[in-house]
Every structure is written in C-alpha cells, then in structure tokens.
A and B are shown apart, each in its own frame.
Chain A
Amino acid sequence: NAGVTQTPKFRILKIGQSMTLQCAQDMNHNYMYWYRQDPGMGLKLIYYSVGAGITDKGEVPNGYNVSRSTTEDFPLRLELAAPSQTSVYFCASSYDRSGLGYTFGSGTRLTVV
C-alpha cells in the first residue's frame, strides 16, 4: 500500500551514540516533515522539507539534522544522543503547503539511556 514508511519501529540508544531514522514515501509528495511526540505535549515539528535539496528548521531542531537528496526519502539524523531525545518520532508527507493531505508514518519509538 502507498504511504509513509518509517524504520526502525523501536530503538534503544546509549548516550552519545548516533543513529539515523529512515522515512520514505511513495506518493511523490514534495513536502515532508519530522515531528516528535512527547507525553502531554502533542507533536512538535523538528525539520521539514518542501522538495528535494531543500530543508528548513521547525520548532525543535537542536540535536538533529536532515537531508533530502530525493523526493522519496527524508532521513533524520541524531549525532550525539541525549536522554532528552527519548520520544516517539513521526514522519509525514503532504502534496501541498496547506497540510490538506498529510500522511503520517507509524512512528519510531526511541529511548536514550
């Protein structure tokens, strides 16, 4: 089925380790987003992209990096994991700027110990 695929679903990292959360969509959407979800806090935007080669910071970008070399893929990189990055991460894609067509992935649950 078409949609947004996130891998891995679960991961435990030690403090200071690095990892990449993968996100891929097969709907030819230009717009892609990374959110983190913390209990009682809703979703906070980390980074977003309006097309291949273009990325921009969201509300909470510190400690993360992204790249967008293709329309399909939008990986999120954590360079030096910290306990504050323990969260559930959601990737989403959209066919236009208004958010009318957001499709979310199923999430990656990350624990940093």
Chain B
Amino acid sequence: AQSVTQPDIHITVSEGASLELRCNYSYGATPYLFWYVQSPGQGLQLLLKYFSGDTLVQGIKGFEAEFKRSQSSFNLRKPSVHWSDAAEYFCAVGSKSSGDKLTFGTGTRLAVRP
C-alpha cells in the first residue's frame, strides 16, 4: 500500500527566508506525486505535480519540488517566502495502477514571521 510521510507538523520561517517542506513516500512502482496548499477555511489547491520526465518540477506561486527516487522524497521548496504563503501544505501520492485515489500526508502547517 502506498503511504506518505510529512515529518514536520509545524514550521515557522521569517518572511524572505527560504523554505523546504519534506515529503517521503512509500510505493513500489513509479508514483505520481503532488503538493497541495490549503489556506484557512478553504479547499485544497494544487501547487504542482510530478508524473514523469524532469525530476525538478515548477509550480504556481514560485514553488518547486524535486523528485528523488533514491531517497523516496518529493520535497517542496521556495527561495523566498511571503507572508501570504502561511497555510497548510499536503503531499500526496497516486499512481496509474492504484490511481483511483490519492493518499495524503498529514500536512505541514507553515507560519511566516514578519
């Protein structure tokens, strides 16, 4: 069965600082990997996704993520955080074979210091 681990429950960074949110997955075949963002009281918005090709994926709002098969990781990065990035971030995994559903991590809540 596929699974996703987000080891950091809460992260606080200063505005303008760089950000890296960790995501590790467990899945036997080639996964499809996703990052979603959820602002308070809102639904989930897709930031970026990986399914094949270049392992460095660019997303919306200046985010990027890198798929590292050897480490089973798909960490989310942003070079300079803005106060509006404060939200909860979810990593998710799916696949063509079991793609009827996505499996989500437990989320990382990001706070941004002024």
A41 to B105, CA, bound (A): 8
Write out the residue numbers on chain B whose beta carbons fall within 8 Å of the beta carbon of A43. Answer: 44, 90, 104
A103 to B16, CA, bound (A): 30
Write out the residue numbers on chain B whose beta carbons fall within 8 Å of the beta carbon of A90. Answer: 43-44
Residue A74, interface by CB 8 Å: no
Write out the residue numbers on chain B whose beta carbons fall within 8 Å of the beta carbon of A42. Answer: 4, 90, 104-107
- Fill in one digit per residue for A39-78: 1 if any B CB lies within 8 Å of its CB, else 0: 0111111001010000010100000000000000000000
Write out the residue numbers on chain B whose beta carbons fall within 8 Å of the beta carbon of A31. Answer: 100
The number of residues on chain A lying at the interface, defined by a beta carbon within 8 Å of a beta carbon of chain B, is 25
Q: Residues on B close to A: CB < 8 A?
A: 4, 9, 32, 34, 36, 42-46, 49, 51, 90, 92, 94-96, 99-102, 104-107
Q: Residues on A close to B: CB < 8 A?
A: 31, 33, 35, 40-45, 48, 50, 56, 58, 90, 92, 96-100, 102, 104-107
